[in-house]
């Protein structure tokens, strides 16, 4: 793989986020973990990705503190990949991607998986950027304050 510009110390949080989880497959592994998957073979079967690429992505996600490696919950010799608090905190990002895609990338009536509340089977609310008083904020209602260069 070509050497790449690292954004790991970038003062923009969006850039630093994408340095950690912006590789192809990384967020799909996180998605699968939210769906209950824990083992290499489960991720591999779900994603259909080459084993060496999956191993690389899992290694990076562990290094980034998004997954931790744990012994198998059933006492077998397998390793399991478990989301850490840092990984679990990606839930709004994954749901935001889902909702954008549902609204923008599917034809009306086209079948897709849906996210529902476990207890009630109701859908979840559309995620929006909100002011403290609950008003919806569009991009133009906001501004980014940059950090002065060191």
For residue 96, give both structure tokens.
Answer: 């935001």
The only residue of 13, 75, 108, 109 in contact with a copy of itself, by rule CB under 8 A: 13
The only residue of 3, 4, 52, 74 in contact with a copy of itself, by rule CB under 8 A: 4
Cα separation of 30 and 60, whole Å?
A: 12
Angle of CA points 17, 22, 28, to nearest 5°: 115
H or E segment at 69?
strand 67-71
**Please, are residues 67 and 58 in contact by the beta-carbon 8 Å criterion?**
yes
Contacts of 15 (CB under 8 A, 6+ apart): 7
Asked if 1 interacts with a copy of itself (CB under 8 A), we say no
The least CB distance from residue 56 to a copy of itself, in Å, is 14
Interface of this chain with a copy of itself, residues 91 to 120, rule: CB under 8 A: 91-106, 111-120
The least CB distance from residue 75 to a copy of itself, in Å, is 23
Interface of this chain with a copy of itself, residues 125 to 144, rule: CB under 8 A: 125, 127-132, 134, 137-144
The least CB distance from residue 139 to a copy of itself, in Å, is 5
The least CB distance from residue 15 to a copy of itself, in Å, is 6
Binding mask 53-92 for a copy of itself (x = CB under 8 A): ------------x--------------------x-xxxxx
The DSSP 8-state label assigned to residue 123 in this structure reads: B
For residue 65, give both structure tokens.
Answer: 């503190």
């Amino acid at each position: 793989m070509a050497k790449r510009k690292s954004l790991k110390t970038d003062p923009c949080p969006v850039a630093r986020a994408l340095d950690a989880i912006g590789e192809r497959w990384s967020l799909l592994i996180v998605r699968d973990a939210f769906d209950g998957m824990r083992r290499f073979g489960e991720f591999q079967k779900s994603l259909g990705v080459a084993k060496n690429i999956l191993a690389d992505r899992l290694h990076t996600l562990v290094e980034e503190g998004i997954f931790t490696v744990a012994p198998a919950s059933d006492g077998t010799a397998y390793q399991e990949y478990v989301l850490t608090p840092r990984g679990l905190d990606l839930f709004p990002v994954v749901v935001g991607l889902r909702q954008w895609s549902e609204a923008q990338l599917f034809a009306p009536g086209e079948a897709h998986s849906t996210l529902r509340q476990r207890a009630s089977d109701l859908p979840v609310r559309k995620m929006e950027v909100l002011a403290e008083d609950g008003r919806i904020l569009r991009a133009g209602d906001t501004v980014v304050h940059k950090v002065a260069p060191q």
